[in-house]
Amino acid sequence: LLDPGAAASAPRAEPDRSAMPRVPDILGQEGLMEADGEAAGEPGDLTREPLRFPAERDVRLQALARGDEGFVLGLGYSTQRGYGGTHPFAGEIRMGEVAVEILPPELGFAIDIGDIVLTECQMVNQFKGSKTAPPQFTRGYGLVFGFNERKAMSMALVDRAMRATELGEDVTAPAQNVEFVLYHSDNIEATGFVEHLKLPH
């Protein structure tokens, strides 16, 4: 029989707090993954500026993170069914808490106002190459609030599909059409527009 007190008295290992390498970065070190392009300058802010086209990737990612989960899931699924030309695998899915800081101008230093839970996903996609890019793995990215692997994965699938033009691929499916995706993923807009049909015309 096991001693019930043995587990309580067993030495506890300290958690490893060193940085854990990301799978896509490991593939990148081997020359198999496209470079992770950093956006130049300040990212756009959909909460302060209206959506304009052509939309840069930072704005597209914001719209997907704010978009209706069911719509993004449906589009992500469509890319796997052949309407988007991607053949992905989940390179990495992470979940954790991050600190939220604000920088009041009158103080001149950052203040931690709380923590939020985020789920992040990087999808790794096969890419045969095009006239503008060599054969390599390409990435799709998803970052959403809360513990929501399904939406983060769907977002990463749709992000990669919307990169078709950038990678020299033909745009043949709804998930690759940036305007279609971004205009129709807004659940507030969609709900209002559909429900207004019950009002007198």
Sheet-wide strand order for 88-102: 88-102, 111-125, 138-145
Kindly state the tokens that stand for 67: 């978009």
How far apart CA 30 and CA 21 sit, in angstroms, is 14
How far apart CA 78 and CA 154 sit, in angstroms, is 10
Kindly state the tokens that stand for 177: 């059409």
How far apart CA 133 and CA 130 sit, in angstroms, is 5
Instruction: Please report the DSSP string for 62-126 in residue order.
Output: HHHHHS-HHHHHHHHHHHHTTSS---EEEEEEEEEEEEEEE--TTT-S-EEEEEEEEEEEEEEE-
What is the chain's pLDDT, residue by residue, as a tens digit (201 residues)? 556 666 667 677 787 777 778 877 888 777 777 777 666 778 888 889 988 889 999 999 999 999 999 999 999 999 988 887 777 888 889 999 999 999 999 988 999 999 999 999 999 988 777 777 778 888 899 999 999 999 999 999 999 999 988 888 889 999 999 999 998 888 877 788 888 888 887
